[in-house]
Structure 1
Amino acid sequence: MCDDESENGVGGVVLERVATLAAGLAERLLLAAGDRERLMVAIAGAPGAGKSTLSAALVEVLSARGERAIVVPMDGFHFDDVVLNQRGHRARKGAAFTFDCAGFEVLLRRIRQREEQIAIPVFDRRHELSRAGAAIVHADARIVLIEGNYLLLREQPWCRLHELFDYRVFLDVPREELQRRLRQRILSHGHSAEFAEQWLAGNDLLNIDHVLGGSVAADLRLPG
């Protein structure tokens, strides 16, 4: 399972596998939802695990079942490059400390309270920035899929999010496969092989190890 089909060199077989995983997970989530007014689902995993792809597939499956579902991505809470440069953190963009976890927590608490309309930021990968109010969570969205790398970290401040999740999913992908996918993603953006290796060693692999070694147990682990 991959974040982007073209970036990771996958084809119809993998997309079919994602659809199968999504169908099975949708059944579990519907069972967990029961007669709840809202189910908050964490979909976590290391960078490159396929969280975005699975989340999008889940929305399709749930919508086909008549359920109103929406994805709330953690990536919308990236600190802007201006802030990262001021703090000397630009080279670690994507690390846990380069996100506004406190702001993300406030948003999730509002979503849990089922306010009528909640604007959420969405990260624009093409321009490498977050767009405020790029999507709306409506009160009738019964299943909310929160996806991001660091949702299940056991450390502060991320551990404060755990009580907001009704169901926790972790995508389990071998470190070597994550490295392969991320290398291909970097190359697909037009960077050199040398840059890709430097970025992997100095940032992405550190983030992978942080997630794999620092996350609490999930209700369900799925192969990514």
Structure 2
Amino acid sequence: MQPVAEIAETISKRVLTLDGTDYPLQIGANDVSRVYLPLARLVREKSACVVPRRYVVGISGPPGAGKSVTATILAACLEELGTGAVVIPLDGFHYPNEYLRTHRGPDHAGEERSLADLKGWHPTFDVKRALDALEAVRAGQKVRLPVCSRVLHDPVEGGLSIEPSHQVVLVEGNYLFFREGLWNRLYELLDLTVFVTAPREVLIAQLRERHMRGGRSAREAEEKIRKVDEPNMDAILETRSRAEFVIEGVRGSLAMGRKQT
């Protein structure tokens, strides 16, 4: 087996991209060896015990915390260790924009609003479809899943294929640890849970950059953060206690620990 330092150096030099875009990830070998590789080794060990079904890792946290980054790097670590892994972003299970424009739901204060104005809040996801898909994936089936296009800002059918070689699936999304209704049933399908977070000012800065990179003006980005992202953030942070592991961003580096009981 390759030494940890050698694997970490290999991964840190790989060109990894985020969310199916060309946006590059930068990760230091030290963070790989301290945080990601130990977690990947644990996942690899546990996944061998559930064959022939797949092992499901749930990665949650507030918007801007780095869930997609964590999932992408963990998948790369698992591949380097010889275990097939795939990332399933929950964003692919958003209702289509046309549906959001023609339906209403409760906002963070319980008031009815157009779902289009709430996009990103949990009522804008088709959680029943996500639950059915994850049950099939967990059982070991070959499945094609929708993905969220960062260009169209809409789900695209069949954009992600879960293959027999994928023994580990890394599901990442904001509401995986919610207790309400079908969300709790989805949580119960997760074999291992990870919560990713960061200081609030870091989260806001990441969201601002993401929104503007996606085509929003500075004013539109701030409005999205104030009306949707920050209320979402507060609700999601309350689910942190349901995670077995917590990864915290501290001044650009990372720290990981088991949850406090």
TM-score, normalized by length of structure 1?
A: 0.88
- Aligned Cα root-mean-square deviation (Å): 2.3
Q: After the TM superposition, which parts of structure 1 deviate over 6 Å for at least 4 consecutive aligned residues?
A: none
Structure 2 gap segments, 5+ residues each: 1-16, 104-113, 250-261
Q: Distance in 2 between matches of 1:4 and 1:138?
A: 20
What is aligned with 1:144? 169
Q: Percent identity?
A: 32
What is aligned with 1:61? 77
Q: Distance in 2 between matches of 1:191 and 1:140?
A: 38
What is aligned with 1:48? 64
CA contact (8 A) 1:18 1:57 kept: no
How far the C-alpha of 1:141 sits from its partner, in A, is 1.6
Instruction: Note the alpha carbon deviations across 1:106-140, whole angstroms, 9 max, x for none.
Output: 0011112112x211111111111111111211233
> Residue 160 of structure 1 is aligned with which of 185, 189, 196?
185
Instruction: Note the alpha carbon deviations across 1:76-129, whole angstroms, 9 max, x for none.
Output: 1011110111012111111111000000000011112112x2111111111111
Q: How does 1:25-40 map to 2 (within 5 A)?
A: 25-37=39-51, 38-40=54-56
The answer to whether structure 1 residue 85 and structure 2 residue 101 are counterparts is: yes
Q: Name the SS for the 2:238 alignment partner.
A: helix
> Residue 103 of structure 1 is aligned with which of 114, 129, 139?
129
> Residue 114 of structure 1 is aligned with which of 134, 140, 143?
140
How far the C-alpha of 1:215 sits from its partner, in A, is 4.9
Structure 1 residues 216 and 155, CA gap change in structure 2 (3 angstroms): farther
CA contact (8 A) 1:183 1:200 kept: yes
Structure 1 residues 182 and 67, CA gap change in structure 2 (3 angstroms): same
How far the C-alpha of 1:211 sits from its partner, in A, is 0.5
Number of residue-to-residue matches in the alignment: 217
What is aligned with 1:70? 86
Instruction: Note the alpha carbon deviations across 1:6-33, whole angstroms, 9 max, x for none.
Output: xxxx985x55565343222212212322
Structure 1 residues 109 and 151, CA gap change in structure 2 (3 angstroms): same
Write 1 or 2 for the structure with the bigger share of helix: 1
Structure 1 gap segments, 5+ residues each: none
Amino acid at match of 1:76: G
TM-score, normalized by length of structure 2?
A: 0.76
Q: Distance in 2 between matches of 1:77 and 1:126?
A: 16
Bigger CA radius of gyration: 2
The answer to whether structure 1 residue 204 and structure 2 residue 229 are counterparts is: yes
> Residue 32 of structure 2 is aligned with which of 6, 12, 19?
19
Q: Distance in 2 between matches of 1:4 and 1:65?
A: 21
